[in-house]
Amino acid sequence: MRATDLATPGTDAWLDRTLGGGVEVFDLGRPLYRGMPQSPNHPPYWHTLPRRHGDAVRADGGSAAADHISLGTHVGTHVDAFSHVSHDGRLFGGVDAVENQRGGAMTAHGAETIEPMFRRGVLLDVPAALGLAACEPGYEITPDDLDLTARRQRVDVREGDVVLLRSGWGARFGRGGPAEYVGHDSGVPGIGEAGAHWLAERRVHAAGADTIAFECLPPGRGHSLLPAHRVLLVEHGTYIIETLDLEAVAAAAVHEFLFVLSPLKLVGATGSPVRPLAVTPKAAS
Amino acid sequence: MRATDLATPGTDAWLDRTLGGGVEVFDLGRPLYRGMPQSPNHPPYWHTLPRRHGDAVRADGGSAAADHISLGTHVGTHVDAFSHVSHDGRLFGGVDAVENQRGGAMTAHGAETIEPMFRRGVLLDVPAALGLAACEPGYEITPDDLDLTARRQRVDVREGDVVLLRSGWGARFGRGGPAEYVGHDSGVPGIGEAGAHWLAERRVHAAGADTIAFECLPPGRGHSLLPAHRVLLVEHGTYIIETLDLEAVAAAAVHEFLFVLSPLKLVGATGSPVRPLAVTPKAAS
Amino acid sequence: MRATDLATPGTDAWLDRTLGGGVEVFDLGRPLYRGMPQSPNHPPYWHTLPRRHGDAVRADGGSAAADHISLGTHVGTHVDAFSHVSHDGRLFGGVDAVENQRGGAMTAHGAETIEPMFRRGVLLDVPAALGLAACEPGYEITPDDLDLTARRQRVDVREGDVVLLRSGWGARFGRGGPAEYVGHDSGVPGIGEAGAHWLAERRVHAAGADTIAFECLPPGRGHSLLPAHRVLLVEHGTYIIETLDLEAVAAAAVHEFLFVLSPLKLVGATGSPVRPLAVTPKAAS
Amino acid sequence: MRATDLATPGTDAWLDRTLGGGVEVFDLGRPLYRGMPQSPNHPPYWHTLPRRHGDAVRADGGSAAADHISLGTHVGTHVDAFSHVSHDGRLFGGVDAVENQRGGAMTAHGAETIEPMFRRGVLLDVPAALGLAACEPGYEITPDDLDLTARRQRVDVREGDVVLLRSGWGARFGRGGPAEYVGHDSGVPGIGEAGAHWLAERRVHAAGADTIAFECLPPGRGHSLLPAHRVLLVEHGTYIIETLDLEAVAAAAVHEFLFVLSPLKLVGATGSPVRPLAVTPKAAS
């Protein structure tokens, strides 16, 4: 008997069951770097080294370097808090949006209120199910597409899941200039209002995509309407995750996994940069 | 048979084993907010809302708010990359520290190279083992203290673990002014060089503490010498995690858990803010 | 005859009259540096070098270094735009304060609307006139004090002037910790509502002081009421300049000068950092 | 006799001579705003309102708004400090460039060492003298062009002057997208090494231009070589001012003026944003 068995009965055995056979950890986060693709509506990511090795050397030969970062919270892979979007002046739960932001930070629904996610995740690889490399720019993914994808993948979406929607658009990240991924002119594929209702009916906990805007942007319309954000963030209290890297899980045909996401506790913020993970047992990948 | 069983054999059963009985997720991250305790040597955390609800309202009644954040990467709960500290001009693995930072970002050992951690974690609650509420300011936690704590907790430290060292200092976070937690004048408890060797000998993957500096700061000496950083980051390639909130896991006497940490992929940075998690099966907490 | 005389008749002669005998340029701006005294209500000044010499060397041996600065606009020596302060929801001229800031920047009265100042300036050295080194913390400078100072200095305040009020507090800048100059606990000397009316009656263009808050802060009251800001910025359209360095002009007994101030054209901002100048003919200093 | 005549003999009369007939103040600074044209090599200008009117209302009905700005110092209209450029590892005066930046800020030649400029200024409107609206993209302005321009304008360049070189490129600022003014692809007109020697021989105090780079950028070569920066900043200690707005002075045919520039005292920085002025007597404009 190991010493720990007495102190935390069950944990040791649970760890053996979870970790014992080895796990595969898929990294769903995009790198953050100067000049990375991001929406021009948000403060650009900028990194500098205010201190470098050799700036100050301690008596024992030690030295340190350190960073300054400046960025929007809807930059890179990130999760939207419910305080991000309002409709007719209301946030999720009927909170008055203008009152809630008085003082320069969100009183309710700040990023610090997003509980860490450690739950079942599902990938719906739409273009793979449709026999495409990627959805077309501006294509609206329909409920039929989602049903078809789940059926072909033989995966079911359950209440409380995190559902990640692959459009194939993510392959553009870091390819060509930033505009190629941002896609404001070309349009960007994603679900529309109908697809958001499909997710809401299944009572998923969060939904994500491999694009910046999560939902379909018709060509030339920019962000003029964002109905899926309304349905999910405002009406149903479903988190949205954007700019995910779904290429590796898709290539490995990993459609079901343990999804882990731990947002920074940015008090009163409308979102947080994150690096989500998809975890499977070793054999399954 | 569920649909998923065919597609990803084993994952569904593994998820049942891991999640089926329910899990307890302990949040080890501190909140980030203006005026939070942080070292004056690093860029202060600052949050603003460049856009607020009502600034622009779409035709359908939708509106959005968004943030700008500015901070050092060694601010709040964070993990140190191997590029953070050098000794005699060398980083871990013998990398030339000055050459490595040429261009204003780290070529090797940047924060983006820190693999997500999903592995066994151990809490060593030193003051609890010593019968104290908290270690004294400036107290150096010795190898004997660590041995005693592990023995009294009936927990063993294994190769590849993440070991979190509680000093009790964390209760000062957010209490009084920032100086009370930063502790540059009073001294701060933690391990010294000997404690770092104790960890290195056990080949742990990472080590963390509930203080900003991780290691013992003798009263009035500030950061004049940081031997544990040298031993762990430079000599052994062991990550260091700082400003952890260990109060809840300690109160629940949770000494063994699944440790999850997923640093932001800040290319060329010396560290990343994080929100680490300690996960146990429901019954165990 | 010089060539220029034909092209710009009069300018050459005017330059001779203005510059010919030599001028003395007094620098009224404080240095900006990490850790400088500033109000904790505003984003702290932070400077870093994202690029350093040697990071990239061109074929010809050339290299460059460059900076990133982050700061509030009411940090260091700065001028307040009329958009900075509202009263009962109105800015100067009756502008609706909330409507004016919709979109995240000021539509009217932004810092870019502050015309450069190139006009007569007057120093009122109150403690010198009162026979003191400096006014007491929290002392309210009265209209009688201002009259007495002008009379003893034999200087008259005229319409359109910029009037700089010395309290002697400025000697604390950079002495001891930042709190010594910020003075939130001790109180800070300056004019109150009556002194603001004294200035407004004389139709001055702008008024400045050697403190952060410009006006009297009674001990322990912080910024709970700022009546002089209301009288000058909101009611009379008089600019306010803060954190001036008036020590050198006072030491030289220079009470009348050409005042020059050229704010950065920060579109939609509520103020701008500046480095104002007091210029006199050489002999006069 | 006015009261002031006794206290500061001569100043009152000098002010009358300088200001008495009225002055024309030309604003040579460009506005700073999100999305403004700037080099992608420097931290982008970003402005936010962390505090808005109504966030906190004092008992008397007063409220305040305030800003956060983040930018490079070589963004918008700005002056280069001598610490900006090195050649073969040396700054102006032989200062070791790498040693000088140790610690993360410039020890010598920081922006705080740039004395305010209050001296004769000359505009050389090259395209006007050449009978053009603007110099061609990538055109190198030659010493012959400079001689011809001075002669046609009937203006002489004297030791200690600030010489502003108009290329006509400035009309592109704010027209089309930022790339039109930045001009990295098209090339940008300006002086080359020969033109820099022409200025250095005349011992001017500073030189400026209506472009970001000050000197000629041949098409497709970017910033691969910057010989005029070397000649002026490193070899002769002549300041460089960039991104000037020279359109209004050129339109008014004002070729000689009082030039005023007062850089922020950014300690250890390599440059400062500024809003320079050209002042003439009223009649002369």
Question: Phi, psi at residue A154, to the nearest 5°?
Answer: 55, 45
pLDDT of D285 strictly over 70: no
Mean of all residue pLDDT scores within chain C: 94
Q: Which of D31, D42, D283 sits opposite C66 (nearest CB)?
A: D42
In the predicted model, is pLDDT for residue D61 greater than 80? Answer: yes
pLDDT at B4: 43
Which residue of B65, B156, B264 is in closest CB contact with A4?
Answer: B156
Backbone dihedral region for residue B174 (phi beyond 0: left; psi -120 to 50: alpha; all else: beta): left
pLDDT value, residue B193:
97
What residues of chain B lie within 8 A of the CB of D69, using their CB?
none
Q: Is the pLDDT of residue D29 over 80?
A: yes
Neighboring chain C residues of A46 at a CB cutoff of 8 Å: 50, 68
CA distance A68 to chain C (A): 8
What pLDDT was estimated at residue D3?
A: 42
Radius of gyration of chain A (CA): 21
Chain B residues with beta carbon closer than 8 angstroms to that of A119: 19
pLDDT at position D179 is: 86
What's the pLDDT band for B283 if we cut at 50, 70, 90?
A: low
Contact C50 A52 (CB under 8 A): no
What would the pLDDT profile of C80-91 be if each residue is shown by its tens digit?
999 999 999 999
Predicted ipTM > 0.85: yes
Q: Is the pLDDT of residue B280 over 60?
A: yes
Say whether residue C40 is in contact with chain D using an 8 A CB cutoff.
no
pLDDT tens-digit readout, A108-161: 999 999 999 999 999 999 999 999 999 999 999 999 999 999 999 999 999 999
pLDDT tens for B260-277 read 999 999 999 999 999 999
D chain contacts of residue C98, beta-carbon cutoff 8 Å: 52-54
Least confident interval from A281-285, B39-43, D24-28, D51-55: A281-285
Beta partners for C86?
A: D63
Q: How far is D72 from chain A (nearest CA, A)?
A: 11
* pLDDT 10s digits, C209-224: 999 999 999 987 766 6
Q: Are D271 and C155 within 8 A, CB to CB?
A: no
Cβ atoms of D103 and D241 within 8 Å: the answer is no
Q: Residue D8 to residues C159, C202, C244, D14, D22: CA-CA distances in angstroms?
A: 20, 22, 21, 11, 22
CB contact under 8 A, B68 and D49: no
Percentage of chain D surpassing pLDDT 90?
88
pLDDT averaged over chain D?
A: 94
A70 touches chain C (CB under 8 A): yes
The mean pLDDT value of chain B amounts to 94
Q: So what's the pLDDT on residue B88?
A: 97
Mean pLDDT computed over D165-169: 98
Residues B38-58 have a mean pLDDT of 95
Residue from the list B54, B70, B103 with its beta carbon closest to the beta carbon of C70: B70
Q: Is B41 on the interface with D (CB under 8 A)?
A: no
B-interface mutation test, from C70, C99, C106, C107, most B Cβ less than 10 A away: C70
Expressed in angstroms, the distance from the first to the final Cα of chain B is 32
Whole-number pLDDT of residue B242: 98
Dihedral of alpha carbons B169, B174, B176, B181, sign: positive
Which pLDDT score is estimated for C157? Answer: 98
- Flag whether residue C48 sits within 8 Å of chain A, measured between CB atoms: yes
Chain B interface disruption, residue of A11, A33, A41, most B CBs within 10 A:
A11
The three state secondary structure string of chain C is CCCHHHHCCCHHHHHHHHHCCCEEEEECCCCECCCCCCCCCCCCCEEEEEECCCCCCCCCCEEECEEEEEEECCCCCEEECCCCEEECCECHHHCEHHHHCCCCCCCCCCHHHCCCEEEEEEEEEHHHHHCCCCCCCCCEECHHHHHHHHHHHCCCCCCCCEEEEECCHHHHCCCCCHHHHHCCCCCECEECHHHHHHHHHCCCCEEEECCCCCECECCCCCCCCCHHHHHHHHHHCCEEEECCCCHHHHHCCCCEEEEEECCCCECCCCEEECCCEEEEEHHHC
D141 pLDDT exceeds 90? yes
DSSP label at D116?
P
Q: Give B176's pLDDT tier (boundaries 50, 70, 90).
A: confident
Report the CATH number of the A4-39+73-281 domain: 3.50.30.50
Per-residue pLDDT of chain A (285 residues; tens, 9 = 90+): 344 444 456 899 999 999 999 999 999 999 999 999 999 899 999 999 999 999 999 999 999 999 999 999 999 999 999 999 999 999 999 999 999 999 999 999 999 999 999 999 999 999 999 999 999 999 999 999 999 999 999 999 999 999 999 999 999 999 988 889 998 788 999 999 999 999 999 999 999 999 999 999 998 776 667 999 999 999 999 999 999 999 999 999 999 999 999 999 999 999 999 999 999 999 644
Note the pLDDT tens digit of each residue in B203-248. Answer: 999 999 999 999 999 987 766 679 999 999 999 999 999 999 999 9
Phi first, then psi: give them for residue D83, nearest 5 degrees.
-80, -5
D 98-137 residues with CB below 8 A of A?
102-104
Predicted local confidence at residue B14, as pLDDT: 94
